[in-house]
Amino acid sequence: MSVVIRTLAYATVFIGFLIIYLPSRILGWTGTTMPLEYHGPQITGMVVGLLGVALTFSCVISFIRMGRGTPAPFDAPRQLVIRGPYRFVRNPMYIGAALILAGVAIFYESPAIVIYAVAFLLLFHLFVVFYEEPTLRRKFGPDYIAYCHRVGRWWPALHTMTRYSNSSSHS
């Protein structure tokens, strides 16, 4: 099966379950319904959510084009992906997913989705620290270690942002 089909399948399952199904269940359990009118929170939520969708989509494309693998841990990229959104932070896909959840929380004005989003980030932080990073260190060795020194796990490193803005302003 091609990497594109595998990536789309895994991303659909991940997004479908964690980003669509579980939040919709939480909204149902809490009795939250679709707002009758859209005001500031709904517009803000849509903007935040769409930023998350764009970031997540960009990550998936990066995995396909550069990594020749998928975002799924059991079918990981064959190449270290350090371009695209990965040049700014090491985990932009999880950040994109969290932005989608934040957008949903803002749109529905749902404290329950805020709690879910925080739990989502905490669980994925633990997954990154205890599984992903050690696995990537073993697989990619010094290249991954150097990448970790250059690029922050969750926040862009100031020197990375400065280097990028300086190089893009001279082109």
Residue 152 pairs in a beta bridge with: 89
Which CATH number, 3.40.50.150, 3.40.50.720, 1.20.120.1630, 2.40.30.10, labels domain 3-169?
1.20.120.1630
Q: How confident is the model at residue 120 (pLDDT cuts 50, 70, 90)?
A: very high
| pLDDT of the residue at 170 | 45
pTM: 0.86
Query: What is the rounded average pLDDT of the residues 40-69?
Result: 91
Q: Is 89 left (phi over 0), alpha (psi -120 to 50) or beta?
A: beta
Task: Tell me 84's DSSP state.
Answer: G
Q: Name the residue among 170, 169, 171, 151 with its Cα closest to residue 159.
A: 151
Query: What is the rounded average pLDDT of the residues 89-118?
Result: 96
Q: How confident is the model at residue 160 (pLDDT cuts 50, 70, 90)?
A: low
**Would you say 97 and 121 are in contact if contact means Cβ atoms under 8 Å apart?**
no
| pLDDT of the residue at 62 | 87
Phi/psi of residue 86, each to 5°? Answer: -75, -10
**Would you say 40 and 109 are in contact if contact means Cβ atoms under 8 Å apart?**
no
Parse the chain into domains and list their residue ranges.
3-169
pLDDT digits (tens, 9 = 90+) for 121-153: 999 999 999 999 999 999 999 999 999 999 999
Query: What is the rounded average pLDDT of the residues 61-75?
Result: 76
Contacts of 57 (CB under 8 A, 6+ apart): 96
Q: How confident is the model at residue 169 (pLDDT cuts 50, 70, 90)?
A: very low
Q: How confident is the model at residue 30 (pLDDT cuts 50, 70, 90)?
A: very high
Half-sphere exposure of 143 (CA within 13 A, CB side): 8
**Would you say 19 and 84 are in contact if contact means Cβ atoms under 8 Å apart?**
no
Does the structure show a pLDDT above 60 at 164?
A: no
